[in-house]
């Protein structure tokens, strides 16, 4: 059996058994929601309602109801799209990349982080569809035979790459997530004591019984999906960044974009995971599974990716000067000192300075500080996309068309509403789905739980390796 040093911090606190894990994780599914859940759910649903109104108004009237103009043709829509896609990246990083690196601490958080990925990509896709203005022709970027002669989509265009990247990312993440959920749905099914719960979870669990052959295939499928998802997740934000990088707009036309966007995506994604899980562990009393150690590990990822993002900002600035291209230089001077200076400096403060606070172990292990800093990072990463998009566009090559951009209530509604959509989905997930990958977590209880470590330290060294 796998042995682990007792010096390593335990991943599961308390003297838990396999049955305790089933009880603790299934409790939210099997009990009634408390008033806090209903309050949060009502607020999210109300925000989502604003989304429905704002999107319906946009589609019914036209894109003119947004604050866009001839110079600034992309603004909050694409800012929000990139922000949401970026947030999604943490889920895949946790479930795929940390699986390949055999990081066992992923097991308590991978399920909810993957759920977050799926809901974030849904929110992102909603901006793509709504910014088209005519969503009924949303199938035009697909390579379908059409009525416009023999014209096909242009496969040299990054926007077409994006259609493939986002749809592959979404559907593969969904398949990965659901495959992992099947054995856990079976746990809920076998425990169910009401007729309807039994019936619903029987359907959801696809008739799973954990026979040896099923587990053997299951583990192979998980491993190969992790191997496929790892380059996939890196490709998605690279392709998103190429939507900008392949254009000739100063401030966008830079080769640093793919790695810089991927680091930023992981950075913002982990911040969102922290924001959500700090609430989830408290509300669902899962503090024994999502421990301070988990929070600390995620804060380290935030620290490293935040530093990469900081270096990327400075590199961009340096290269703008070093290139000798005056348009490029102006774009960056304008970002820092022009009319949108406040957005630029909000981004710099939130993304470059705040994560550096995590060099302090005390702050990394403080739930309150982590929560506050994670919110700062979320805000900072939103501003990053706003700065890249709006400040690069609003003063282009032709000074006579220089202009400012400000959003209307409709755009604000779609953004706040997308948060509503996200939290509505997440709250439903927390009520009806096992939020921790139980069957995977059970594999480490004999090696990495607090109880196992106590037992190990009591046994004399000579017997441990018997």
Binding site for another protein (CB under 8 A): 1-2, 17-19, 22, 143, 149-156, 158, 160-161, 164-165, 167-168, 171-172, 175-176, 179, 182-183, 186-187, 189-191, 202-221, 224-225, 228-229, 231-232, 235, 239, 242, 439-440, 442-443
Supply the DSSP symbol for 97: I
Nearer to another protein, 149 or 460 (CB): 149
Pair 165, 236: CB distance under 8 Å:
yes
**C-alpha distance from residue 64 to each of 77, 294, 408, 430 (Å):** 13, 46, 10, 38
Pair 415, 422: CB distance under 8 Å:
no
Tell me the C-alpha distance between 107 and 435, whole Å. Answer: 11
For 255-323, what is the HEC assignment?
CCHHHHHHHHHHHHHHHHHHHHHHHHHHHCCCCCCCCHHHHHHHHHHHHHHHHHHHHHHHHHHHHHHHH
Nearer to another protein, 191 or 315 (CB): 191
**C-alpha distance from residue 466 to each of 444, 452, 461, 463 (Å):** 20, 16, 9, 5
Nearer to another protein, 33 or 142 (CB): 142
Nearer to another protein, 158 or 420 (CB): 158
Query: What angle (nearest 5°) sits at the alpha carbon of residue 320, between those of residues 315 and 323?
Result: 110
Tell me the C-alpha distance between 123 and 382, whole Å. Answer: 14
Residue 436: name the closest of 252, 183, 192, 262 by CA.
183
Residue 173: name the closest of 87, 243, 108 by CA.
87
Nearer to another protein, 235 or 329 (CB): 235
Residue 281 CB, nearest approach to another protein (Å): 22
Residue 77 CB, nearest approach to another protein (Å): 22
* Sign of the Cα pseudo-torsion (247, 248, 252, 256, in order): positive
Q: How far is CA 120 from the centre of its chain?
A: 6
Nearer to another protein, 49 or 228 (CB): 228
Residue 49 CB, nearest approach to another protein (Å): 31
Residue 37: name the closest of 450, 423, 446, 358 by CA.
423
Pair 283, 389: CB distance under 8 Å:
no
Residue 80 CB, nearest approach to another protein (Å): 23
Nearer to another protein, 243 or 316 (CB): 243
Nearer to another protein, 335 or 453 (CB): 453
* Sign of the Cα pseudo-torsion (280, 284, 285, 287, in order): negative
Residue 352 CB, nearest approach to another protein (Å): 30
Instruction: Locate the DSSP E strands across 15-80.
Output: none
Measured from the Cβ of residue 288, the count of other Cβ atoms closer than 10 Å reads 19
Residue 93 CB, nearest approach to another protein (Å): 16
Nearer to another protein, 31 or 400 (CB): 31
Pair 405, 69: CB distance under 8 Å:
yes
Nearer to another protein, 209 or 342 (CB): 209
Residue 381 CB, nearest approach to another protein (Å): 24
Tell me the C-alpha distance between 159 and 249, whole Å. Answer: 16
Residue 163 CB, nearest approach to another protein (Å): 9
Nearer to another protein, 137 or 144 (CB): 144
- Cα torsion 130, 131, 132, 134 to 10°: value is 50
Residue 131 CB, nearest approach to another protein (Å): 21
Residue 96 CB, nearest approach to another protein (Å): 11
Nearer to another protein, 184 or 384 (CB): 184
Residue 1 CB, nearest approach to another protein (Å): 7
Residue 457 CB, nearest approach to another protein (Å): 19
């Amino acid at each position: 059996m796998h042995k682990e040093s007792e010096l390593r911090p335990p991943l599961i606190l308390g003297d838990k058994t396999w049955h305790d894990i089933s009880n603790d994780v299934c409790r939210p599914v099997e009990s009634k929601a408390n008033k806090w859940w209903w309050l949060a759910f009502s607020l999210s649903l109300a925000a989502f309602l604003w989304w429905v109104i704002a999107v319906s108004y946009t589609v019914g009237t036209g894109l003119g109801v947004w604050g866009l103009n001839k110079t600034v043709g992309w603004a909050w829509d694409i800012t929000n799209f990139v922000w949401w896609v970026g947030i999604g990246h943490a889920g895949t990083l946790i479930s795929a990349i940390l699986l390949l690196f055999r990081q066992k601490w992923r097991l308590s958080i991978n399920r909810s982080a993957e759920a977050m990925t799926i809901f974030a990509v849904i929110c992102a896709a909603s901006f793509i569809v709504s910014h088209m203005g005519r969503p009924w022709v949303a199938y035009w970027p697909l390579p379908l035979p059409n009525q416009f002669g023999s014209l096909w989509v242009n496969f040299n265009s990054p926007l077409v790459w994006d259609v493939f990247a986002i749809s592959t990312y979404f559907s593969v993440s969904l398949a990965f997530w659901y495959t992992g959920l099947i054995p856990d749905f079976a746990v809920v099914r076998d425990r169910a004591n009401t007729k309807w719960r039994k019936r619903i979870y029987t359907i959801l669990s696809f008739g799973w019984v954990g026979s040896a052959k099923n587990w053997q295939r299951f583990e192979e499928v998980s491993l190969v999906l992790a191997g496929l998802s790892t380059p996939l997740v890196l490709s998605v934000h690279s392709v998103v960044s190429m939507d900008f990088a392949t254009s000739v707009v100063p401030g966008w036309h830079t080769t640093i974009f793919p790695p810089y966007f991927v680091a930023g995506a992981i950075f913002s994604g982990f911040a969102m995971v922290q924001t959500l899980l700090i609430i989830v562990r408290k509300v669902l009393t899962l503090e024994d599974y999502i421990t301070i150690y988990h929070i600390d590990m995620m804060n380290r990822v935030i620290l490293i990716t935040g530093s990469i993002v900081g270096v990327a900002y400075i590199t961009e600035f340096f290269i703008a000067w070093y290139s000798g291209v005056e348009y490029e230089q102006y774009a960056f001077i304008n970002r820092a000192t022009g009319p949108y200076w406040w957005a630029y400096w909000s981004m710099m403060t939130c993304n470059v300075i705040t994560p550096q606070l995590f060099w302090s172990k005390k702050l990394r292990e403080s739930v309150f500080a982590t929560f506050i800093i994670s919110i700062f990072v979320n805000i900072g990463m939103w501003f990053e996309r706003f700065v890249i998009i709006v400040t690069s566009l609003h003063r282009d090559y032709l000074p006579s068309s220089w202009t400012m951009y400000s959003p209307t209530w409709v755009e604000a509604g779609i953004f706040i509403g997308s948060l509503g959509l996200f939290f509505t989905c997440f709250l439903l997930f927390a009520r009806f789905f096992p939020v921790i990958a139980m069957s995977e977590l059970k594999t480490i209880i004999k090696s990495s739980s607090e109880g196992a470590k106590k037992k190990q330290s009591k046994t004399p060294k000579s017997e441990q390796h018997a």
